[in-house]
Structure 1
Amino acid sequence: MPKFPSGSSNEGSRKRPKVTPPDTSRQAPPKRPNIRDHKSKGGGSLLAIRFSDGRGELGPNDMVSLQQHLRASIDKIGGPSALKFGGVRSRGGSVVIQCEDELTKLSSALVERLKSGHQFAYMSGLSTEDALHNVVARIERSLKSSESTLGVFLDVKGAFNEAPFDVLLSGLKRHNIHPLCCNFISHMLTSRSVEFVTYGQTFSRRGYADDVALLSSGFDLSIVRDLAQQALSFAGRWSRGVGLSLNDKSSLVLFTNKRKFRLKPLTLEGKKLEYSGSCTYLGVTLDSKLNWRLHCDTKARKATVSLMQCRRAMGPTWGLGPKRSLWIYKAVVRPAMEYAAMVWLPATNKKFCDRLRRVQGLALRMVTGALPTTPTAALETLLGVLPIQLRLQEVALQSYLRLRVRGQWLNWVGYGRGLKKITHIEMCSSLAQNIPELGFPYDYESVKPPEARNFKIRVATREEWLDMYDNYLDLPGLLCFTDGSRGKGGSGAAFIIGEGGNFMDGASGVTPLGNYATVFQAEQIGVLSACNYMSENPSLHKEVNIFVVNRSVLDSLLSERLVSSLTVELHRALQQLSIHKDITLHWIPSHWGLWGNEDVDKLAKEAASITTCGPEPVIPVNSAIGKFAIKQWAQNDHRVYWSNLLNCKF
C-alpha cells in the first residue's frame, strides 16, 4: 500500500545510487559555480556568492560564523526568521557560500526600519504614485486655504554609483549589524571580486530614492521662504557629510493663487536658485497654479511622437493588422498618458484635456484606416475603447481603491474657504459615491506570521493522488473536508467531518456568504468553520487531517506576509487548535469522485443558494470586487454617453 506523501517531493521513494567520492588530488582548477552546485533541497530560490580569498582574511570557519551572525542580525532588526542556509565549501583559492537569500532578507529588514510618513522609495506596497498623491494633496490643501507653498525639488547627483563605501558601512554599524557581517560586506565592496548567481528569484527595484521634495506652506511668504532656506541648508550639509552632491537641475516653484510676489532667491551650496513656473517631479509636470495645462500638453506631445513612430509599421492596406495595432496603442501609448492620472484628475473637467482626446482619435484612425473626418466617438464605440476622459477617471479610481484599502488615502475633504478650485481628493471621493462597492469594508491586513507554525501543510501531486486514490481514508484520526462555492445566487462554504470512511453525526456545517464573497474567501471560511467546530468539541480525535480543494488557501498560509484579515484569522485559529491537536492540511483534487470531497461540494453549493439575512456584504470583500465594479461603472457610463450623443448618428 503506498504511503501518504510527506510533501510535494517524492524523496525516499527510490533508493539513491551509491556515489564514490572523487579523487581531488588530480582535480582540475575550480570552474565557475553552476546551478547544480547550488541547487536548494527545498526547491526554493538560491543566492550563491563566490569571492576570491587570496589573502585568507575570511576562511571557511569564518564563513560558518558569518552565517550565524547574519541570522542573528536579521532576527535583531525584525527581519524574516525562517532562513535556510546551505553549505560552505572551500574550492581551491575561493570560498563558496550557499544561502537562501540571507543578504536580500537582511537588506529588506533594514529598509523596514526606515519606514516613515515621508519615505516612499524601496518600501513594499508604495510607489511613485503614492509619493505624488502625498505631495500634490499638501499643495492643493494649501491653495484651497489661500496659503502659499514653496516647493524645492532636489535631485541627488550620482546617488547610486557614487555613494561612498565608508558611509554605507557606517550606516550598517549604526543599525547594530554584527562587525563580522560588516567586514564581509566591506570586502565585497572594496577588495573582493564578487560574483552573484541567482536562481528562481525575481527582484523588484524602484530607483527614485534620489528625488526629494521639500515643501513649506503658510500665509506669510517671507516666513515660507525662510523655512525653505533652512531645509535647503540642512540638505546641503547632509549631502556634504555623506560625500554626495545635489544636482544643478534642482527646481524651485512657488504654488500660490497670488499673481505677483517678491521673494529673495534661495541659495544651495552658495549658488542661487531661480524661481520657475513649473517643474517635473517623478514624471508629472507641476505648474504654479496646478491647472495641469502644461502636463496635458507634454503628455499629448510625447504620445503623438510615439504614434508617429508606430505609424511606420501600419497602413490602410499593409503592415500590422488592426488587432495588433490596437494592442500597441493600449499597451504602449495610452499607459504613458494615464500615468498618475489620480493626481491630475481635475484636468478631465477642463477643455485642454481635449488634446489627449485628439491623440486617441488619431490612434484609432491609424488602427482602422478610417478617413480623417471619422468621428472619434464612433470609433471608440466600434472598437470598445473608453473615451479618454472616462478612461482617466477609471484609472484614477483604481488608484484610489488601492490607497484606500491599504490605509494610505489622505481623505482631506472640506479644507479651504469655499474656493471653486477642486482637488483630486475631492473629485475621486465624488466619483466614488457613484459606485456603492467602493464604500464596502475591504479584506486587507498586513501581518507577519509567528516564527513557529504549529500545523503542517502537505501538498501531493496529481500523480501521487492516483497512487493513493483508494487508501487516503486509512489516515489516522479525523478526516475533515472543506469547500467553497460561488454561483449566480451567491457564495457559500461548507465542511464535513468523518472517520474511517463514515461521517460523524452532526459534524458538518454550511455558511451562506451572500453575493460579494469570492471563491477563495469561501474556501477560507470553510476551513475556519471547521476549526471553530473542533475547538467547541475538544473531545474529538487528537489527530486531524483537513482536506482543502483550493491550493491558494494553503499558499496564503505559507506566505512570509499575511495580507488578508481573513487569512490572519484562519492562521490564528489553526495555531490555537494545534495546541491540543495534531493538525495537517492536505490539498485534494476536485471532481475526482473522492469520498468526502464530493459530499462537501454538494453542501457548499446548497450554502451558495441560501439567501442571507441582513445587509450585504456579510464579510469584508476582496479588492477584486471593487476593481470589477469600477470597470462596470466605466462601461455603463460609456453606453450612456453614446446613447445621448446625437451629432454622429444617422
Structure 2
Amino acid sequence: MGGVDIEFSKEIKILGLTIDDKLTFNSHVAEVCKKALNIYKQLSRAAKVSWGLHPEVIRLIYTATEEPIIMYAASAWAPATKKLGIQKHLNAVQRGFAQKLTKAYRTVSLNSALLLAGILPLDIRIQEAAALYEARRGTDPEQSHGEGDVELVTAYAETPHPAEHMELEFINLVDQQQVEAHNCQAELLAICKATRVILDRQETSFGIFSDSRSALETIVNHNTRHPLATEARSNLSCCKSQNKTVNLFWIKAHAGLEGNEAADKLAKEAAKTLKRKPHYEQCPVSFVKQKIRMDSLAEWNRRYKSGTTASITKIFFPDAIDAYRTVRKIEINNVLTQVMTGHGGFSEYLNRFKCKESPSCTCDPQQVESIPHLLFDCPVYGFSRYELEQRAGVTLSAENAKHIIMNKEVRQAFLEYCINIANKVIARNK
C-alpha cells in the first residue's frame, strides 16, 4: 500500500485482550499471569509463614486485584483453560497466593492450599464466569442451569425516558388498625399480576398490599430493570393515564394481620395441591449463578478426590464441597495448616527434606512421627486424647476426623487439641 509492504500479524490486541491467529490465547494468558506474579512478588515480602499480613488482607488483595486481572474478558478465552498448558500457568500464580492465605510451607501441594484457603481453581473460576456471562445475556447454548429461560433484565431502550418516570412510593402498614383504616420473584409476579387486573377494572381507586418490602422497593426504584418490575411500572403508568389511583402498601409479615395470614395460607395450599402449568417459568440469575457454582464445586471435588496429593488434608476434608462450606468458619493459622497438610516441624517431614536424621517418634523408634500417629495413636498424648473424648463425647480416629470437623459443637475443641500437640512437637524438633 503506497509502496510499503503490509506484513501479516499473528497477534492483535483489542481492548486489552490479545488474540492470536490460532485462537490459543497463549500470549494473553502469559501476559496476565506475568502481571499477577509481579503483584505476588510484592506481596510475598510482607506475608511470611509466621508473620506479616493477615490472611483476610491477603484474601482481599487476591479477590480485588489478582482475579480481576486474570479473569478479564474471561468469556472470550474460557475454552482455552481446558488445555493443560494454560492450567499450569494459572496454577503457578494461584499456588503462591493460596499458600500465603493459609500460611503454608512452599512444599504444600496446590490441592491442599486451595482447599484450606477456600478458593476455587482459577481455570474453573474462569469457566464459571464465562458461563454466568452467557446466562445473563441469554445466549447460553447448553442452558447449563437446567431450567426454563433465564430472567433477563429489561433493555434500556425498552424502559421509559427518565422524564416520563412517575413518582412511586409505598406506605408501611405495621398493624391491623392501619390495614383496616386504608381498607424476590413470586412477590414481584403477584404485584405485576395485580397491576394487570387493575388495568381491566372500571373502579378508580385501588390498593396493592404486600409483605415483601424488597419487591416493593424494586418496583419503585426506576433504576432496577427487572422485567416484572418494569412491566409493573408500565402498568401503573397506564393506570395513571386512565385516571386511576393505585397505592402500594407494605404490611409486616407474620404479625397477625388477617388479610396477610389468609394470603399466606392460600399460597401454601396452592403450592401443595394445585397441579397446573407455572404462571412464570423464567428462573432468576441468582438461581443460575448458584447452579453454576455447584457445577464448579463438583468439578473441583472430582479433581481433588482423584488427585494423588493432599493425603493428610483428605483425612480432615475428604470432600471438597463440604470443605468449601466449612473451612471459612475455621480460623486458619500457620500451626493449624501444618497439622492439616503434614508439612511442618514433624519428624516425618523433617527427615523427608534431610533436616532430621530419623523420622521416628519419641514413643517408639519404629514408629514414624506423622500427623495421624500424633493425633490419634501416640501414647505420649494419650491423656489429652482421652480428656477430649470424654469432654466432647467423640472417638478420636483418622476415620472419624472428617465427622468431627463437620460437627460445629466439637470442632473448636478438636482444633485446639491439634494445635496444642503440634506446638509441643514443633518446639521439641527445633
- Normalising by structure 1, report the TM-score: 0.42
Measured at CA, do residues 528 and 649 of structure 1 come closer, stay the same or move farther in structure 2, by a change above 3 Å?
same
Which residue number corresponds to residue 588 of structure 1? 251
Which residue number corresponds to residue 343 of structure 2? none
Equivalent residues of 1:448, 1:562 under 8 A apart: no
CA RMSD in angstroms comes to 3.3
**Given the alignment of the two structures, is residue 526 of structure 1 paired with residue 235 of structure 2, yes or no?**
no
1:93-126: per-residue Cα shift (whole Å, max 9, x none)? xxxxxxxxxxxxxxxxxxxxxxxxxxxxxxxxxx
1:255-314: per-residue Cα shift (whole Å, max 9, x none)? xxxxxxxx9535xxxxxxx65443432222222332111111111111111011112221
Equivalent residues of 1:590, 1:597 under 8 A apart: yes
Which residue number corresponds to residue 509 of structure 1? none
Equivalent residues of 2:218, 2:229 under 8 A apart: yes
Q: Which amino acid is the alignment partner of residue 566 of structure 1?
A: L
Equivalent residues of 1:277, 1:287 under 8 A apart: yes
Q: CA–CA distance in 1 between the matches of 2:243 and 2:119?
A: 58
What pairs up with 1:496-511 in 2 under 5 angstroms?
A: none
- Normalising by structure 2, report the TM-score: 0.62
Which 5+ residue runs of structure 1 have no aligned equivalent?
1-225, 230-262, 267-273, 410-427, 480-519
**Given the alignment of the two structures, is residue 638 of structure 1 paired with residue 345 of structure 2, yes or no?**
no
SS of 1:280's equivalent? strand
Query: 1:351 pairs with 73, 84, 88, which one?
Result: 84
Which residue number corresponds to residue 281 of structure 2? 619
Equivalent residues of 1:449, 1:561 under 8 A apart: no
What pairs up with 1:115-130 in 2 under 5 angstroms?
A: none
Which 5+ residue runs of structure 2 have no aligned equivalent?
313-430
- Per the TM alignment, residue 448 of structure 1 is displaced from its structure 2 partner at its CA by 2.0
What pairs up with 1:236-251 in 2 under 5 angstroms?
A: none
- Per the TM alignment, residue 611 of structure 1 is displaced from its structure 2 partner at its CA by 5.7
Measured at CA, do residues 570 and 327 of structure 1 come closer, stay the same or move farther in structure 2, by a change above 3 Å?
same
Q: Which amino acid is the alignment partner of residue 13 of structure 2?
A: T
Which residue number corresponds to residue 564 of structure 1? 226
Equivalent residues of 1:440, 1:617 under 8 A apart: no
1:564-595: per-residue Cα shift (whole Å, max 9, x none)? 33234333444455526432222333333334
Aligned positions, number = 307
**Given the alignment of the two structures, is residue 547 of structure 1 paired with residue 258 of structure 2, yes or no?**
no
What pairs up with 1:263-342 in 2 under 5 angstroms?
A: 265-266=5-6, 276-342=9-75
**Given the alignment of the two structures, is residue 436 of structure 1 paired with residue 146 of structure 2, yes or no?**
yes
- Per the TM alignment, residue 473 of structure 1 is displaced from its structure 2 partner at its CA by 1.8
Q: CA–CA distance in 2 between the matches of 1:276 and 1:542?
A: 69
Structure with bigger helix share is 2
Query: 1:474 pairs with 163, 178, 181, which one?
Result: 181
Q: CA–CA distance in 2 between the matches of 1:388 and 1:594?
A: 50
Measured at CA, do residues 471 and 330 of structure 1 come closer, stay the same or move farther in structure 2, by a change above 3 Å?
closer
Structure with bigger strand share is 1
Which residue number corresponds to residue 136 of structure 2? 402
**Aligned residues with identical type, % of pairs:** 26
1:294-341: per-residue Cα shift (whole Å, max 9, x none)? 111111111111011112221111112333323322222122111111
Q: CA–CA distance in 2 between the matches of 1:575 and 1:552?
A: 21
Q: CA–CA distance in 1 between the matches of 2:239 and 2:19?
A: 56
Q: CA–CA distance in 1 between the matches of 2:165 and 2:103?
A: 61
Equivalent residues of 2:36, 2:69 under 8 A apart: yes
Q: CA–CA distance in 1 between the matches of 2:48 and 2:265?
A: 56
Equivalent residues of 1:543, 1:582 under 8 A apart: yes
Equivalent residues of 1:457, 1:554 under 8 A apart: no
**Given the alignment of the two structures, is residue 628 of structure 1 paired with residue 290 of structure 2, yes or no?**
yes
Q: CA–CA distance in 1 between the matches of 2:42 and 2:165?
A: 56
Q: CA–CA distance in 2 between the matches of 1:590 and 1:366?
A: 46
